Structure 1
Amino acid sequence: MKLIKLDAIDSTNDFLKALASQDEVENFTIVTAENQTKGKGQVGGVWKTQAGKNLTMSVLVKDFLFNNEEFFNLSVLVSLSVAEILKSLNIPDIFIKWPNDILSYNKKLVGILIENTLKSDGRIVSVVGIGINVNQTDFDELPNASSLAVIAGKSFDKEGLAILIVEKLKEKIQSWKTESQNFWNDYFNFLFKKGVPTAFRDNNNKDFMGIIQGVSSIGKLQVLLEDDSVVEFEIKEVKMLY
């Protein structure tokens, strides 16, 4: 796999998207940056990171998605790959907070943003942005965040971590056709607060209690409400309070 290392960039996702639009870029090409000035989160959010301390990366994925109803399959594989690698590094109590944040205990370690582009020939090209809090230790302004270094009490090799994650993702994509149901089951097993009464807040700032039942094939969160109905929520339609 090809690794492109940058000192500073506005967004590794934007850089890789531009690169892929102009050239025939190798599948699973990785772009990393020591400093990202305009990192992006889910649905217009912002990903802030301390320069030089954390892993800011994007990876190109081609020839996996073929229609928009499959988009969440890639999210499952990416979040699962990251979760499994962190678990292998002995980071404790790893969870996937829907749709694809990675937590240790209840502290956020990883944010993931996947941007899909439909090419003129009908192909779908995906740029997977992954931000991991690796060696940063100061989170005074981010009380819900932590890092691998804080939790494990030691520093980590950022580049080595990037390669491990992409190798794991590549392996899962290659075995998707025969293992897809197992991967979905693994995703559910990592799901944060699944089956536990949990407080939520909707777009109207109304709080309610519910129990996460699972996630639909297109990525909607399925929540059992107090009236025994099950409601599906899109990303950003509901916020988990914890």
Structure 2
Amino acid sequence: MRIIKLDAIDSTNSFLKEMICTETVTDYTIVVAEYQTNGRGQMGTNWDSEKGKNLMFSLFKDLSIHVVEFPFYISMAISLAILKTLKALNIPDLHIKWPNDILSADKKICGILIENVIKNKLNSTIIGIGINVNQTEFNNLPKASSLKNITGVHYNLDEILQNIIKYTKAYSECLQQGEYEAVKNEYEANLFRKNKPSTFKNTEGELFSGFIKGVTKYGKLMVTLEDEVVKKFDLKEVTLMY
């Protein structure tokens, strides 16, 4: 395992992608940044962070030997690895907000951006992770919080990183052993607002009600609507209002 520590970088995911083009990158190569000038989240959103206070890193996972038929299992596995790490720190009321935000109560404390590298098949993946750890102020981000805000404890970033790597390897082993159903069941058991009446917004801006039932192996969200019909939504098709 190789860990590269940087003072500042535009994006650790971008740094790793450039590395892949110029050299052989080994499994579990990790790039950690004290500060990101252009950290990216899902669907082009930015990830703002105070220097040195949060854990921001990208992990390279080689998939050239192990075939992953359904890439969303990677997202489920890494979400569970982070969830298990945070549970070990006694962070309360943890859930996964589909597809892979980590919440404590209804506050976002972690975001994940997965970028797959395909060469005829899914060859590798770059997993970008940002966890709000010791930052305490989030201007104009009412739904954001941090581990320190929640517990009052100041955390060691390196210890959290090592535990995430440990659990990531464990869940990766589960996938390699074909334990897909177990990973999916655990992911669904931790889904935010599962089986609770929830409000959603579609691409036209219209609001509707439903109950989250789970996810498909392709990563679509399954929602039971008022007429008892289960509809499947892709990431860009629906937003959970909370």
Same topology, TM > 0.5: yes
The residue that corresponds to 1:66 in the other structure is 67
TM-score by length of structure 1 reads 0.95
Residue 193 of structure 2: aligned partner: 193
Aligned counterparts of 1:234 and 1:50: Cα–Cα separation in 2: 32
Matched, 1:227 2:221: no
Q: CA deviation at 1:125?
A: 1.2
| CA–CA separation in structure 2 for the residues paired with 1:109 and 1:172 | 21
Q: Given the two structures, how large is their TM-score scaled by the length of structure 2?
A: 0.95
Once the two structures are overlaid, the 10-residue window that deviates more, 190-199 or 20-29, is 20-29
SS in 1 for 2:8: strand
Amino acid at match of 2:14: D
> Quick check: 1:153 aligned with 2:152?
yes
**Alignment of structure 1 residues 36-75 onto 2, 5 Å:** 36-63=36-63, 66=67, 69-75=69-75
CA RMSD in angstroms, aligned pairs only: 1.4
| 19-28 or 85-94, which deviates more | 19-28
One-letter code of the match for 1:148?
Answer: L
Deviation digits for residues 78-104 of structure 1 (CA, Å, limit 9, x no counterpart):
000000110011000100000000000
Matches within 5 A, 1:159-174: 159-174=158-173
Deviation at 1:178?
Answer: 4.3
Q: Distance in 1 between matches of 2:51 and 2:8?
A: 9
For residues 16-95 of structure 1, the aligned pairs below 5 Å read 16-63=16-63, 66=67, 69-95=69-95
Distance 2:33 2:112 in 1: 15
User: 2-side partners of 1:36 and 1:10: how far apart?
Assistant: 5
Identity percentage of aligned residues: 45
Count of equivalent residues: 240
For 1:11, the equivalent position in structure 2 comes to: 11
Q: Please give the secondary structure, in 2, of the residue aligned with 1:161.
A: helix
Contact 2:9 2:35 (C-alpha < 8 Å) held by counterparts: yes
SS at match of 1:70: coil
SS at the partner of 1:175? helix
Deviations 1:47-66 (A, max 9, x none): 12122111110000112763
The runs of at least 4 consecutive aligned structure 1 residues that moved more than 3 Å come to: 64-67
**Greater alpha carbon shift after TM alignment, 37-46 vs 171-180:** 171-180
The alpha-carbon deviation at position 117 of structure 1 amounts to 1.0
SS for the counterpart of 2:167 is: helix
Which runs of 5 or more structure 1 residues have no equivalent in the other structure?
Answer: none
SS at match of 2:235: coil
1:117 aligned residue: 117
Contact in 1 for aligned 2:9/2:37 (Cα 8 Å): yes
- What letter is aligned with 2:217? S
Shift of 1:206: 0.2
Residue identity opposite 1:38 in structure 2: N
Q: Does 1:128 align with 2:127?
A: yes
Q: Which amino acid aligns with 2:93?
A: D
